[in-house]
Chains A and B, each alone.
Chain A
Amino acid sequence: MITQMHVKGLMFDPYNNAYIVILRDEDQSEMLPIWVGKSEASSISLALESVAPPRPMTHDFMKGYLDAVNAKVISVVITDLNENTYYAKIHLTYEDSEYTVDSRPSDAIALALRSQAPIFANESVIRKQTSEELDQWLENLKPEDFGKLDS
């Protein structure tokens, strides 16, 4: 089973000096946080705010590459969580064939936002995540740790 997720916002994790992308499902009952690097967070933030930078950033270039060859992103799926590393799959069409390409969730999300493609998560990933130390960690967060994107 897969669940469609929406990017609700980005947070800074001061303990790990990293960023967290918050994914939530339609009825806001499930949450999936994904730790990403600074440049990936910046790329996702630009896409969320629909900011077009003066020069194409890496994921804009990635989208440009796919556009140039008429490949289309159908969807992305966050598939697995293994030793705190997430796995994602990008589903694309190119010349009437479908392809599935392995990626990091950060790249998949950054590309999906630029392609208006839906983001899904395997239910096993969501369940694993909620059962881990995350709940406690989130309780300790202050509202000011949340970015302005969490509207």
Chain B
Amino acid sequence: MQEHTSHTAESLLELTVDRVVEDPDTDTRILVLSRTDGKTELFMIWIGAAEGESIRRALDTSVTPRPMSHDLIKSFGEHFGVKTERVVLTDVKSSTYFATVYLESNGVTRTIDARPSDAIALALRCQAPMYVTQDVWDRRSGQNLDAWLSKLATKNIGTQEV
């Protein structure tokens, strides 16, 4: 595999959500992330069903009759004038990914520790960019699952649950 590491200050790669796929064997979802720089490799994270559906709703920009949990967090920000500036996938330990959410208000930046699923569910609602460190990208798992995933995806695409 070819990697062109950019040696910027933090070596961050911008991500976009490719799709959310159901894992038929468990009550989880697979969050499939891709890079915005045109590289074709994917990055997969197993997340909870509720968080997966929340991300799916954000992608569809579907509106639920009542605000869901991540809509509520977004609403706090709108009320307070706090901006979700960006989210970064910062670490992976024993297959658990760690994210940091950057908030900005009155010129002050604050950070929150989060699971990637919550961070991304919020970022999508706030049009905030999502990044992964080069280090975490290089250590991602599931790199050989492309074929398996594409098989799975054709079965599951369009099975939107609300």
Contacts and interface: CB of A to CB of B under 8 A. Distances in A.
B110 A69 contact: yes
B83 to A, nearest CB: 11
Contacts of B112: 61, 64-65, 68
Contacts of B118: 56, 58, 61
B65 to A, nearest CB: 7
B103 interface: yes
Given A37-B50, A99-B79, A99-B80, A61 B72 contact: no
Contacts of A104: 66-68, 72
B39 to A, nearest CB: 28
A41 to B, nearest CB: 11
B105 interface: yes
Interface in B90-110: 96, 98, 101, 103, 105, 110
B75 A101 contact: yes
Nearest to A66: B76
A63 B69 CA distance: 12
Interface residues of B, number: 30
Interface string A22-48: 000000000000000111100000000
B103 A61 contact: no
Looking at chain B's contact residues, the main secondary structure is mixed
A71 to B, nearest CB: 6
A113 to B, nearest CB: 14
A94 interface: yes
A56 B75 contact: no
Contacts of A92: 76, 79
Given A99-B80, A101-B79, A104-B72, 8 more contacts: A39-B50, A56-B113, A58-B50, A61-B73, A61-B101, A62-B72, A66-B76, A104-B67
Interface of B: 48-51, 65-70, 72-73, 75-77, 79-80, 82, 96, 98, 101, 103, 105, 110-115, 118
The 9 closest A-B pairs by CB, nearest first: A39-B50, A68-B110, A61-B118, A64-B112, A94-B80, A99-B79, A58-B69, A104-B66, A68-B112
